[in-house]
Structure 1
């Protein structure tokens, strides 16, 4: 009787050192939530915001009344509007500012950050005009740093209130880190933020994680538009599925991995963002779908909607490298080219009938085209 194969050894966790001092750049809802999570995980935390009144309110009340009202922050977070104070001695930095202001913020940060400190992008997008991933933008403005990204299905309030939450932390892995992965910045950052309620997973596919984060906001606007226009769950499920395929295609074209899109930063984040008006992108789309004018959404308040800008940058990049992304293109045309919402989505559904699997080379005229 042949010998049975030896049982597979269980993976044994190893000890690694978290970063003792974490700076969070950006005191909006997600930045504030991440500061709270880092503090709950035992880190020394500095939270920087550009608005002095908001920072004063955080110091005074122990909450962020503007962006995260009603959530008590753990004691010990140093809130400041002085960039030098925020970054002095920081061993790692979370950058949680809108993608459109990233270059400006990096230029403010650069004189104050230790070269050894890894930088973690917690915003999502692709730079308009250049088509560059945000990690490329940071690399140009702050060369020499290890750069990663944190992404996943997260609503700031839920995370700050310690509802169980899981994310992906992605950094490129140097060869030395593949031999000793517990010393890699992604591993050490995961330990710096991980707690009983906050569970980071580690990835080496920074491109895939970044692409997923940029595309999901655009797809969420599409889902919101269709919901607001009166369409139902079948429609949204199709848009989510097509959005996943668009994420995979763009990630692969840029050097990322399709399987990354099956994780928290892809399917996880997309499903959450496309399923609740707690998402600014989904809510924005719902209001537009109901016929509310652009300058009247969110009651006319100036709310940053990342997907609105990303619709331009994602579509332009897809065109530049020859990738078809019809959902993102539809959102772009409605928001930025004056296309009608119902007509554009009717055209989306009336594209040629194709095989679902790429192995089949098939395209048929759609009956709706007459």
Structure 2
């Protein structure tokens, strides 16, 4: 009986899988028609809908890319050299100098150090060079049609229509990654609508071709998420033998709310961490300043440990990955103050 039940369940599972894989262009066309009707009900102009959805082709490669993202086993020791090679550090320093006037003006206005703006610019789009060539509308419609995260991608789609309606980009240039991330900042459409800035005052928030807008948009994002330019991001530290790692922030998929609760439980003053035996990597004392920090363990107890300051939370809001947030901090440090003066 148990064996028979297992066969039935397996058959049902396979049938569901086959049905999912058998979605056709005809199914897609029906789905698009329903989306267009919903867009009308939301108040979008018929001409905009017709133009935008004319680009909404069924992109099997987008679904394939979403389902088959690489799961390579990484540690920070292997990740950082690939994400932040010396050529990228050199390029970041060079471009900082080239854009120094506007970067430092933006930094002052938003209260976000320029080196972090450049680091995010470099890591997200290779300083604007790699923005993706997929139709944003086509990608978002395809991912919504796929169904696994339909609500999320439909919300992104409505936000994308808002961007077109407001004239920030023309449809033919509305390109991004296969997942819908856009421009030099690689904002998703909802992030664009929340954080993008028309810094040069030309009436468009142009994160695709206007560096000033991209820089200000990055800074605005961080500032709105609580950035404090009196602080840096964190520092790598050494732990004493037998350190209790109960309240260290570890890797794992958690909601934003759960992660912030873990942060709160881990947070201590630098004086408290000093008393617990935590030291700088060279063995010297932690800074004698009135600052709190949480302990972050991106890998395991044999890997790197970081004391992360409040600004780290803003980086984790941008991308809730310890590897990503740490790479931004690492590149910003390598850009460094002496290199930009």
TM-score band w.r.t. shorter chain: under 0.3
Higher helix share: 2
With the length of structure 1 as denominator, give the TM-score of the two structures.
0.26
With the length of structure 2 as denominator, give the TM-score of the two structures.
0.27
CA radius of gyration, larger in: 2
Higher strand share: 1
Higher relative contact order (Cα pairs below 8 Å, separated by 6+ residues): 2
